[in-house]
Amino acid sequence: MPTLHLLGTGAAVSEPHRTTTMLAVADDDHPEPATLLIDCGSDALQRLREAGGRYEDVAGIIVTHAHPDHTSGFPLFMEKLWLSGRERPIPVIGIQSALDQVQRVWEAFAPITVDWDAPDIAFHRVDHVPGATAWDEAPWTVEASPVDHGDMPNVGVRIEHGPSGDAVAYSCDTAPTDAVVDLAHGASLLVHEATGAGHNHSSAEQAAQIAKRAGVERLLLVHLPEASDPGDLAAARQVFPNTDLGTENGTYAFGT
């Protein structure tokens, strides 16, 4: 059964119990390592273990954009893979500017990592164009498209689970955009940011409008700010009733 883990659900500044927004998809029925991580603004692997996942099941990590709350945990991620004995390369997937950022933050530690036997990093650059293929290895196919995050190049993703045909979409950080409607079309779950309107982000109500247009089954709100207003959730539910705030490190089954 494919599952989504909301490893973190907060904005850069958020409520005390929420860390930065990070996701994982997993499929315990798949015979090979099949856990895909998305972003690492904080300790993604601690959250994965807390959710019942295992380091050795990590197939790769997608980085969406260069902001610190999506990339700054990368050196810690690499240190944990090294100390856990991972030998095979770790695929790191993203648009060029996101890959450049994780490479910079990793190389900042070069004086002390030179003696480490950390796994090789297999960078896979994704074109910053609509419908780019970010991952195509069973059980997942991941499509990435540019979203509207101001001057910061960024992508949202659609993650399809091959065996079931079910899909999850993730807006990443963005103002309301048709690109997310396209990515989320008919998906079981849409994970949409709800930092608040303006400043290249979206409100809960705007996220609900996207979910309604995309025809998804359920909307989960993430990238939540410090003062998540219950009124915002009520307004979103007026537009799209099956809307919830994302549960911090919550697990959601989405396969049929």
Q: Does 173 bind Zn ion (CB under 5 A)?
A: yes
Distance CA 210, CA 228 (A): 19
CB 39 to Zn ion: min, Å: 10
Q: Does 5 bind Zn ion (CB under 5 A)?
A: no
Question: What distances in angstroms separate CA 161 from CA 55, 151, 168, 190, one per listed residue?
Answer: 21, 32, 8, 14
Q: Nearer to Zn ion by C-beta: 120 or 151?
A: 151
Helices (H) and strands (E) in the chain, counts: 8, 14
Which alpha helices (H) appear in the chain, and where do they start and end?
44-50, 68-71, 74-83, 96-107, 110-113, 178-184, 204-214, 230-239
CB 154 to Zn ion: min, Å: 6
Torsion (CA) 118, 30, 24, 242 in degrees, nearest 10:
180
Q: Nearer to Zn ion by C-beta: 173 or 205?
A: 173
CB 199 to Zn ion: min, Å: 10
Q: Does 67 bind Zn ion (CB under 5 A)?
A: yes
Rg, the chain, Cα only: 17
Q: Applying CB under 5 A, which part among 56-64, 80-88, 173-181, 212-220 lies near Zn ion?
A: 173-181
Q: Nearer to Zn ion by C-beta: 188 or 228?
A: 228
CB 21 to Zn ion: min, Å: 9
CB 95 to Zn ion: min, Å: 13
Q: Does 218 bind Zn ion (CB under 5 A)?
A: no
Q: Nearer to Zn ion by C-beta: 43 or 173?
A: 173
Binding site for Zn ion (CB under 5 A): 67, 173
